[in-house]
């Protein structure tokens, strides 16, 4: 079972790339973030035409997450629980085969300090509670997506340049480590303990050409899912395409 996660920075702008990816990347499940469109306007037919199922949780202009799969998708949660006033579409979760899989778009949090950073930290506390509930189910759980967290200095090209940023501040990283310490494994880091593997390169300043990247898209696996972990890797190819997203997919292979 191959699960891929990709922040596409608009599903409409990236439709051809995503359909090609479904056809060619040998993934069974594709988790998307930053759809930037409503469920009504999601290009469902393009995926129906190639035999893929889609569940989306979108909103106008901003955010939006989806789960795509060749297999049946049974939705288990739409929206992150814990705040009835939160209208941002950043969490969707489903059962696919024997896995519980969530597509996550964690808030950016900049500028920092400020209300957006407060929202990010509060959102991470709510994610912790959901992750705690899920781990207590004692089933294989995959929490994946754009976490907007640089976990360690090795995960960015210049730690000094990021030290005061909402993606790298100690409070942000501490909350990410708390998630891991619940019992979730950072799959990429488990497979590649010491090497740099970036998932995002800014559109500006020639960041892609200079490999000035950061690792902010992650797969967190429950103990039952970690037992199935075969491989985890970044697929850099889509970042080099014309009109690319600024993120590239992460792939995680799990045994059946």
Partner DNA sequence: ATGCCCCCGTCCCGGGGA
210 forms part of the interface with DNA (CB under 7 A): no
209 forms part of the interface with DNA (CB under 7 A): no
| Cβ proximity of 91 and 57 under 8 Å | yes
* Binding-residue pattern over the window 10 to 39 for DNA, x denoting contact by CB under 7 A: x-xx--------------------x-xx--
Query: What does R_g of the chain's alpha carbons equal in angstroms?
Result: 17
Shortest distance (Å) from residue 20 CB to DNA: 15
202 forms part of the interface with DNA (CB under 7 A): yes
Which residues in the 49-108 window bind DNA by CB under 7 A?
Answer: 60-62, 107-108
d(CA 185, CA 216): 15
d(CA 4, CA 103): 10
Stretch that binds DNA, among 23-31, 77-85, 126-134, 243-251 (CB under 7 A): 243-251
Shortest distance (Å) from residue 131 CB to DNA: 20
# residues contacting DNA (CB under 7 A):
29
Half-sphere exposure of 98 (CA within 13 A, CB side): 10
Stretch that binds DNA, among 135-143, 186-194, 202-210, 219-227 (CB under 7 A): 202-210
216 forms part of the interface with DNA (CB under 7 A): yes
First to last CA, the chain: 6
161 forms part of the interface with DNA (CB under 7 A): no
Instruction: List the 65-69 sheet strands across, edge first.
Output: 53-57, 65-69, 29-33, 2-7, 250-254, 229-234
């Amino acid at each position: 079972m191959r699960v891929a996660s990709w922040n596409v920075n608009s599903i409409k702008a990236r439709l051809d790339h995503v359909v090609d990816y479904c056809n060619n990347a040998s993934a069974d499940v594709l988790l998307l973030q930053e759809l930037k469109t409503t469920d009504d306007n999601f290009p469902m037919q393009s995926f129906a035409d190639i035999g893929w199922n889609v569940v989306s949780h979108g909103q106008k202009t901003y955010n939006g997450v989806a789960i795509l799969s060749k297999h049946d998708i049974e939705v288990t949660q739409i929206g992150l629980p814990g705040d009835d006033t939160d209208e941002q579409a950043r969490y969707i979760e489903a059962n696919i085969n024997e896995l519980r899989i969530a597509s996550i778009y964690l808030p950016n949090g900049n500028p920092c300090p400020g209300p957006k950073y407060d929202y990010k930290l509060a959102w991470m506390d709510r994610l912790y509670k959901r992750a705690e509930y899920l781990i207590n189910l004692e089933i294989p759980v995959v929490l994946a997506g754009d976490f907007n967290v640089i976990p360690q200095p090795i995960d960015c090209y210049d730690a000094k340049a990021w030290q005061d940023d909402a993606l790298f501040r100690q409070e942000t990283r501490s909350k990410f480590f708390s998630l891991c310490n619940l019992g979730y494994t950072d799959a990429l880091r488990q497979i590649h303990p010491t090497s740099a593997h970036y998932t995002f390169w800014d559109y500006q300043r020639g960041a892609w050409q200079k490999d000035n990247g950061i690792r902010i898209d992650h797969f967190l696996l429950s103990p039952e899912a970690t037992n199935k972990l075969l491989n985890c890797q970044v697929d850099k190819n889509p970042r080099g395409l014309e009109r690319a997203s600024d993120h590239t997919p992460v792939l995680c292979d799990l045994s059946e």
